[in-house]
Structure 1
Amino acid sequence: MERKYFGTDGIRGRVGEGAITPDFMLRLGYAAGMVLGKLPGEKRPGRPNILIGKDTRVSGYMFEAALEAGLINAGVDVGLLGPMPTPAIAYLTRTFHARAGIVISASHNPYQDNGIKFFSATGSKLPDQIEREIEAVLDVPMQTAKNLGKAQRIDDAAARYIEFCKAATPWGFSLEGLKIVLDCANGATYHIAPKVFRELGAEVSAIGIDPNGRNINLECGSTKPGQLRKAVLEQGADLGVAFDGDGDRVLLVDRNGELIDGDQLLFIIALHQQECLGGCKGVVGTLMSNYGFELALGERSIPFERAKVGDRYVLEKMLANGWLLGGESSGHIICADASTTGDGIVAALRVLRALSDFGEPLHQLKARMKMLPQHMVNVRLRHRDGVLEHSDVQSAVSDAELQLAQSGRVLLRPSGTEPLIRVMVEGRDRVQVEQLAKHIASVVERVGNS
């Protein structure tokens, strides 16, 4: 059975449209309770329990109540975590031995969107088969359980997660002497991240910590780091840290106001593991990871592989290889020795630990990796069938690769949501890269619109 509602990252959309309605969330809660509440292997007494957490979107209150009602009607107990980062919900699901954890969030998207993501009892994404089983129950009429579930608010959830983040650093690790600006995107880290960094000794200035339900990711956070750059420069801070709305992504800004993306952060963490912690087994990036990142790892004998875009695929390849580090250019970084999903706070602390052990400021350490110029053109087409296989397109790609002479790469990737083909070229010469990308895009456009 094909999945009708679940995508690669849960269910997401505009509030009030498609599956993102209170009625659907009520039925989803019931379906999830019926499936997850009856999974085999449960040995603990009493009813199964499922946790619900959310980011700061105003619609989260409505969907939280609907999911809660559906779960209770299925005979499942509910633990309400309130506004919490996505990785915190994964962690707390394991900590409380819950049957599952539910995240109400649309991550880095605007407040008008919302979505649902499930974590299994181990804090990992639900298997596809379980998602299909939940979808199969969505259209089954609800029946009130003979033994209704109950709900309780978990008041110490934030404190537990703060201690978890701090414990991801070595005993005695301190940020004393560092002045750090945090941008919490008016999202789920607003009451978590400032406490973590302050309790580790940093002098913290925080922005994006006044959520009103409608300002999440609004001109702030990792997708809009302009305010953070300005604050770092104005305050003379050592660096800045930007999270997205649900706290699973992070980007940094150095003291010169320059943005440090996910590839650069992954490189710093991998370099630290390789030179200070006994070695790095390997790193998983994506098809969009900068070629300079791959070259820099190769120069240091650190294995590197690419996965399809999406944290699900990154984690799958990490697990298959037995590697502990992977992520995306967007700043979604998975440190598998600490967390089962991307965790912005943990990733930022890993970078800060590297700065401490190397004794170098961020702007110097990042210079050990040279990012290559990258140019992307989005080509909108009437049809995409057969375009990538067309001889003219393949010839244009081959010619470009020949000109790059093994010092760059070409990637053509269909969009998963729009009638687009994304043409990306990387190389050492910016002008050449842009010219090659535009030429390939023109060929793709001619073939796709003929």
Structure 2
Amino acid sequence: MVSLVKITFFTAFCAIFANTAASRVLELSDRFLDIHKEGQWLVMMYAPWCAHCKRLEPVWAHVAQHLHETSIRVGRVDCTRFTNVAHSFKIRGFPTILFLKGDNEFVYHGDRTRDEIVKFAQRLSGPPVQEITKSQSFDTIKRDRDVYFLYVGEKSGSLWEVYRRAADVFQPHAFFYQSHPHVVGEHAPVQKAPALFVYKENCHYNFTGHDELDFEKLNSTLHEWVNAERFPTFPKITRGNINQIFLTNKNLVLAVVEENQLEEVSPDMLEFRDMVEEVIKKKREKYHDDFQFGWIANPELVNSMAMMVVPLPSLIVINTTTSHHHIPEDEPGKLTPHAIEMFLEQIRNESAPKFGGNGWLVRIYRSWFEMRTTFSAMWKGNPILTMVLFGLPAGFLSLICYGICCPDILDADEEEEEYSAGSHMKKD
């Protein structure tokens, strides 16, 4: 009886919390066009019939709850009712997440999780470079930020100028801070100011391009460095971040595993993933400039890129510039850290076999492979529905073809009959 009461109370509490969280989301209308430049807005453009929008609804409610005490107002717009809003913001798909700040408009392309969406809004809510004036603030920043950039020195000079420019470009994707040597203290290894670091995995990695005398060369060098360093050393690769990781122009080393519905990885696959991670963690200086390591729990996405069904677990390396991919000759179960290093060396000296690419034949084959894979998944999931979806159009097409071709056949038969009748009359 007591357990039943506890369960009932817990269910009621969850329902109240869900309703409270949902109430934080502002329902916007056409009037939003008159006020969207006032303050900061995080807005979801949606359609009621969209399945992706429905899955995002509970996440969006939690985002609104998390940002409730900030200056960011969280809302949503039903684009099927308020078409003027959708037209004004040039909405092409649902859901579309926008962050609006004055005349600036940013579109979110990351994973649709509460934490990632909140970080996106937090990055854009402040200035591109946030100043740290208290040493104690670093403890909070290190706890809350997986990756961040830190400039230590005065706000002047070439390095500061190119750092500020990079922050303007990458603000939607990373956190940028500025401080002074006496504030930083022991939180960063500053020997000489100005200095520039990226913080990840409890370590600081220094930018070494300070000595560039050419301002434009320094600017491009720093831009490339920030673009390559804004990801963790061994991140989880998803549909939401893979396009951004492709922009690093590195070879993407992927440990391919599979998760269950609770996002858990089996022990054997976890061991394989940890082995791949060990390579980059121990040999970072050797491989970091040429390779971006990561792991992926979406085999369908890898199958699409490799145009084959990869075994699980497995290792695949994708050239993000040419879209070629490399697969080790050894079976995944026989791979060792040493074997992986030899495989990476073969890729670096271009002696490893490569597959795929961007050729038109490859693109045609990839499209056919994806279509076949989609049809197969639909057939396994619901064969009756698949037959209806594909059988009805085929049936209508057959009727149309029959209707087009049959009149010609009937006309031909009638002409033959008339010709035969005429011949008989002449003979008589």
Q: TM-score scaled by structure 1?
A: 0.27
Relative to its length, the structure with more helix (as a share) is 2
Larger Rg: 2
Q: TM-score scaled by structure 2?
A: 0.28
Q: Which has the higher contact order (CA 8 A, sep 6+)?
A: 1
